[in-house]
Structure 1
Amino acid sequence: MNAKNSASTPAKVKRQQRNFFITATDTDAGKTFVACAIIQAFTDAGKRVAAYKPVAAGCDKIDGKLINEDAQLLTQFANSQQLINEVNPISLEAAIAPHIAAEKLNITLTLNEIKAGFEQLVSLNADINITEGAGGWRLPLQLNTPSPTFLSDFAINTKQDVILIVNMKLGCLNHALLTYQAIIADGLTCVAWVANSASSTTMSNLDENIASLEQLLPVPKIAQINFDSDASSSLTAKIFAAAKEIDLTLLG
């Protein structure tokens, strides 16, 4: 046997991947906006990023397919050449709690299905995998079992690091602390938080509330994103601007 035939084929080098799960203190906290900004920040840093939004409720029917606006944005910003159905495999038309929307359609939301989509994501071999949750941390997937299933169970099962988006509004201190405590109690690491002003109405004593959270949450604040009221600026441009506010070095 000659040397050419005896030489082994070099194995494909697998990237050192990091998996981040984006959650928030409540719904409409700007998870997608911030997730896209984080994706853009990593892209600007030369990283290859894949995105995943396993469950989306509130979709439009376009050419016979259910399309979620948030999933479209994630697909646009991720740079791993994903199709939208790969980013968002479970799309529900009604803009209501996913488990209720699924029940009305006699559909069962399962962890196995969500994990299968995540395994496909990981197989893309990107540097960074960003999963955006739905609603808050303890979002129900199904209730008609002896033990209810939550989307947080998926994050736990896949051992993802968590980034908490805090919707800066009245009540956010309580919401942020309870969410952080739930993440830690579930055995995961909350690696960072983002102060996001998701509403055009500025929170009273915003700076003082952010300072309080900086004292109360024992993880770094990687960005403070203020609401951009410039109607002449596109959403894409606003996300690009927000990306520049994110300090990725604090993620380690």
Structure 2
Amino acid sequence: MAKKTFFVTGTDTDAGKTFIASALLHKANSEGLRSLALKPVASGSESRDEGLRNSDALILQEAMSQELDYEQVNPYAFAPAIAPHIAAEQADVRLNASRLAGFCRGALFTPHDFSVVEGAGGWRVPLNDREDFADLAKELGLPVILVVGLRLGCINHALLTLEAIKRDGLAVAGWVANHVDPNMSCMEENLETLKQRMTAPYLGFVPNLAGKENAALIASQYLQLPESNN
């Protein structure tokens, strides 16, 4: 079976990238696929005896079926919950797409069938003064899964992000509608508009599951995996 690897991005911060990525991992596991996940850069990390640990990276590590050391899942962890390139500057660390891609490629040698590489924030979040996370996706040449956080303004955010990904020359393997704001007005109408206008495969709608135990596992039941890497 050929490996299927995807880059996960979102319409903005808190669109639910990690939540949906972990749900997709659970979905893959349920279908008998060996799953793997990477979070190359993460800010907002907690200091522990073993070093800085990011909650999103830990969620992905727990959801995937294959074993990787934390440092392989998340090679760059920063303490402040701020933009990654600013956190890196404060830590006197230079991030660049080529080096990050090298870390990812090394980890992806681990035997698996389905894997995700999760970005940070949205598509244009900077890595340094010249590159952003889109450059990492381009360096890896991965098709993209776009997580659309359903809230006021999501249609514009989703369409602009989709346009940017395609303009950067990458395929969009699919998009997920994640209901992040339970108080959103006209949610159904907004979702229908997105379905009509998003020119990419629709992978599913995940209702708001905030506070529910095993939410990502539940969410996996609402999703389908992307068809292929092409």
TM over 0.5: yes
1:181 aligns with 2:163: yes
2:26: which partner in 1? 40
What is the CA-CA distance between 1:66 and the residue it aligns to? Answer: 0.3
Secondary structure, aligned partner of 1:195: strand
Which residue matches 1:191?
173
Residue aligning to 2:220: 243
- 2:41 aligned with 1:55, yes or no? yes
Is 2:209 aligned against 1:223?
no
1:170 to 152, 155, 159: 152
Of residues 83, 97, 107, the one that matches 2:69 is 83
Q: Does 1:121 align with 2:121?
A: no
Aligned position for 1:142:
128
**Deviation, structure 1 residue 116:** 1.7
In our comparison, the structure showing a higher alpha carbon Rg is 1
Q: Which amino acid aligns with 2:215?
A: K
After TM superposition, where is structure 1 displaced by more than 3 Å over at least 4 residues in a row? none
Query: How far, CA to CA, are the matches of 2:92 and 2:70 in structure 1?
Result: 24
Aligned-partner Cα distance in 2 for 1:104–1:93: 10
Aligned residues: 228
User: If the length of structure 1 is used for normalisation, what is the TM-score?
Assistant: 0.87
Match for residue 183 of structure 2? Answer: 202
Say if 1:20 and 1:160, in contact at 8 Å, map to a contact too: yes
Q: CA deviation at 1:216?
A: 0.4
Indicate if the aligned counterparts of 1:55 and 1:89 stay in contact, CA closer than 8 A: yes
Query: Normalising by structure 2, what TM-score?
Result: 0.95
Unaligned segments of structure 2, at least 5 residues: none
The unaligned stretches of length 5 or more in structure 1 are: 1-14
Structure 2 counterpart SS, 1:91: strand
Give the stretch that moved more between structures: 179-188 or 189-198: 189-198
Quick one: distance in 2 between partners of 1:228 and 1:157?
Answer: 34
> Deviations for 1:153-204, whole angstroms, at most 9, x for unmatched residues?
01011110101000101111100000000000000001111010123x3311
Alpha-carbon shift at residue 33 of structure 1 (Å): 0.5
